[in-house]
Amino acid sequence: MTTATWTSSGHLLGLEDLGRDQLFSLIDEAEAFLPIVRGTVPGDSMLEGRIIANLFLENSTRTRVSFSIAAQRLGGRVVDLLGSTSSASKGESLVDTAANIAAMGVDGIVVRCSDSGGAALIAEHVEVPVINAGDGRHEHPTQGLLDLMTLLQHFDGDLSGKTIAIVGDIASSRVARSNLWGLTAAGANVILVGPESLVPGELTSIVPREPGRGVVSISHDLDAVLDSVDALMMLRIQFERHDGDGIPEDYRERYGLDIARADRLAGGVPILHPGPINRGLELAHEVADGSRSLILQQVTNGVAVRMAVLAGLLASNR
């Protein structure tokens, strides 16, 4: 295994600093792991003897389990340290928790935390690779990568000029921010859709305007964009981050993707969701489980992406 070509820091903290070539290189590596994920070929042993610590101080199912399966498919071992059972619940700082874990001899730390920039802070204080599994409202880079991978698969490897709508609680979404960097780097234009209270206007300028990069725009009317999009990514309403504020009572009627709205989409327009889904709110059952849905494909791709990240950062450190 050669040293990862998509990072110069030895960590994966976000997609902001990755260019198109780096993103596509990482996704190519993930594609190569798909046969292992699908069980059509045996797992690899490139992480044999390696121990990965999953430091998850926020709740997670898909991401944490996905990293665990990815590590095990590569022959590594995983230690899960969850918020309720770690010393962080006793008031220990994020850096102290991570530094102590690193001092025990782990080979890498996967971290999810509520502090934006928390993963980068840990990376400054430990000597092992750090992978950001979601930090506050900042980024969720592996989710952005698996979403990009899924859309590239659907559109035969080319997103140039495609229009992707991201719908929902943009204000709370680290997934949306990683997707802004990843999708626009691949040449796609992104429309952020939702009520004014959930779509910060400053996000239109977060991504620089440069040749080959897509642009970001905002719409507060889902019905107005349905006829012009090439893909829809629905986001979960993160009630836990709002304390009941900022979510319109008529959200489902204005922004929920029901059967009638899905039927208005052009043929071939796929629907994605990072999960978990508030069924009946963001997505109707029939839409989430329908022929347009790429949700389970996203989950499969998530394991392959995390295998590529772990292999690139840890296997090359032998």
Question: What's the confidence (pLDDT) of residue 11?
Answer: 96
> What is the CATH classification number for the domain harbouring 201?
3.40.50.1370
pLDDT score of 5? 74
Dig out the tokens for 97 from the structure: 């928790």
Short-list 162, 146, 154, 190, CA closest to 29 = 146
Catalytic amino acids?
A: 62-63, 90, 112, 140
Task: State how far the Cα of 29 lies from the Cα of 16, in Å rounded to an integer.
Answer: 19
Considering the domain architecture, whether residues 187 and 258 belong to the same structural domain is answered as yes
What pLDDT shows up at residue 88? 60
Question: Is 123 in the same domain as 150?
Answer: no
Six-digit token string for 118:
């928390």
Please check whether residues 45 and 188 belong to one and the same domain.
Answer: no
128 and 195 housed in the same domain: no
Q: Are residues 145 and 224 in the same domain?
A: yes
User: Within 13 Å, how many C-alpha atoms sit on residue 305's CB side?
Assistant: 26
User: Where does the chain show beta strands of DSSP type E?
Assistant: 51-56, 77-82, 108-113, 130-135, 163-167, 189-193, 216-219, 231-234, 271-272
Q: Cβ neighbours of residue 209 under 8 Å, at least 6 residues apart?
A: 215
CA atoms of 60 and 32, how far apart (whole Å): 26
Looking at the structure, tell me whether residues 154 and 261 fall in a common domain.
Answer: yes
The reply to whether 5 falls in a domain is no
- 13 domain residue, yes or no: no
Q: Looking at 77-211, list the stretches that DSSP marks H as alpha helix, in order from N- to C-terminal side.
A: 94-103, 118-123, 141-154, 174-185
* Distance from C-alpha of 196 to C-alpha of 203, rounded to nearest angstrom: 12
Neighbour count for residue 77 (Cβ, 10 Å): 15
What integer pLDDT is reported at residue 97 of this predicted model?
Answer: 94
Residue 87's nearest CA partner among 74, 77, 96 is 96
194 φ/ψ sector (left φ>0, alpha ψ -120 to 50, else beta): left
Which of 222, 230, 218 is closest to 162 using CA atoms?
230
Q: Give the residues of the chain that fall short of pLDDT 70.
A: 1-3, 84-91, 239-246, 316-318
Domains contained in the chain, number? 2
- Which amino acid is present at 207? V
DSSP state of 293: B
* Residue 214 in domain: yes
Report how far apart, in Å, the C-alpha atoms of 202 and of each of 107, 177, 182, 205, 242 are. 38, 12, 18, 6, 19
Q: Residue 28: CB partners within 8 Å, gap ≥ 6?
A: none
User: Is 288 found in the same domain as 148?
Assistant: yes
User: Is the domain of 161 the same as that of 266?
Assistant: yes
**pLDDT tens, residue by residue, 159-213:** 999 999 999 999 999 999 999 999 999 999 999 999 999 999 999 999 999 999 9
What pLDDT was estimated at residue 2? 46
Model pLDDT, residue 1: 39
Length in residues, the chain: 318
The pLDDT score that the predictor gives to residue 184 is: 98
Among 1, 314, 272, 316, CA closest to 130: 314
- Asked if residue 7 belongs to a domain, the reply is no
Question: Would the pTM count as exceeding 0.85?
Answer: yes
161 and 285 fall within a common domain: yes
Position 157 scores a pLDDT of 97
Instruction: Tell me which residue range forms the domain holding 305.
Output: 20-139+299-317
Q: Are residues 34 and 175 in the same domain?
A: no
Could you tell me if 109 and 225 lie in one domain?
no
Q: Is the dihedral of CA 8, 11, 16, 18 positive or negative?
A: positive
What pLDDT score was predicted for residue 4?
Answer: 74
Look at residue 238 in the predicted model and tell me its pLDDT. 82
User: Does a structural domain hold residue 199?
Assistant: yes
Q: Sign of the CA dihedral 34, 298, 147, 81?
A: negative
